[in-house]
């Protein structure tokens, strides 16, 4: 699966499980960290943990290997690292505090909503 398709798939899974404010940032040529960031907000730490688990399970079924996970224990900011795609699932205040969208403000972005076209 291409990095772009993986990012869109992760965003769709999060949206399907009621994640909020789902955004995919295209960092190609802008960051050595990853080609895409998927950023989403969960309504609670338990919701964040459930979203992370669902993304990991769905992408594993698609044959994608999860390289690294951080923050799953506390659920305030969970990071799923798929090498070229990094999924960030935040609780609301934490997302606002770190402001990844502001940090990468020059990157093209796609916002996913319940009316978005899905893969």
Q: What is the DSSP letter of 32?
A: S
Question: Residue 119 — pLDDT band, cuts 50, 70, 90?
Answer: very low
Question: Residue 20: how many CA atoms within 13 Å on its side-chain side?
Answer: 9
The stretch 39-59 carries a mean pLDDT of: 97
Residues 6+ apart with CB under 8 A from 116: 12, 15
CA count, 13 A, side-chain hemisphere, 4: 5
Q: Is the pLDDT of residue 46 over 90?
A: yes
Sheet of 20-26, strands arranged across: 68-70, 77-81, 85-91, 36-42, 20-26, 109-112
Quote the CA–CA distance of 18 and 43 in Å, as a whole number: 9
pLDDT higher than 60, residue 114: no
State yes or no: pLDDT of 118 exceeds 50.
Answer: no
Residue that wins the pLDDT comparison between 48 and 103: 48
Residue 19 in tokens: 């994640």
The whole-number pLDDT of residue 33 equals 85
CA distance 32 to 18: 30
Tens of pLDDT, residue by residue over 54-104, are: 999 999 999 999 999 999 999 999 999 999 999 999 998 999 898 887 766
pLDDT of 49 higher than 50 = yes
* Ordered domains of the chain (ranges, CATH): 3-105 (3.30.460.10)
- Confidence check: pLDDT of 116 > 50: no
Longest distance between any two alpha carbons in the chain, whole Å = 35
How far does the chain reach from its first CA to its final CA, in angstroms? Answer: 12
pTM of the entire predicted model: 0.88
């Amino acid at each position: 699966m291409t990095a772009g398709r993986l990012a869109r798939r992760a965003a769709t899974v999060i949206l399907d499980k009621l994640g909020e404010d789902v955004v995919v940032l295209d960092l190609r040529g802008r960051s050595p960290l990853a080609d895409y960031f998927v950023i989403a907000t969960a309504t609670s730490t338990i919701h964040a943990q459930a979203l992370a688990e669902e993304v990991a399970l769905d992408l594993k079924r698609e044959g994608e290997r999860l390289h690294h996970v951080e923050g799953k224990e506390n659920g305030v900011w969970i990071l799923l690292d798929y090498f070229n795609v990094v999924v960030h699932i935040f609780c609301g205040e934490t997302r606002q505090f770190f402001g990844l969208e502001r940090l990468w403000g020059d990157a093209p972005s796609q916002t996913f909503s319940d009316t978005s076209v899905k893969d």
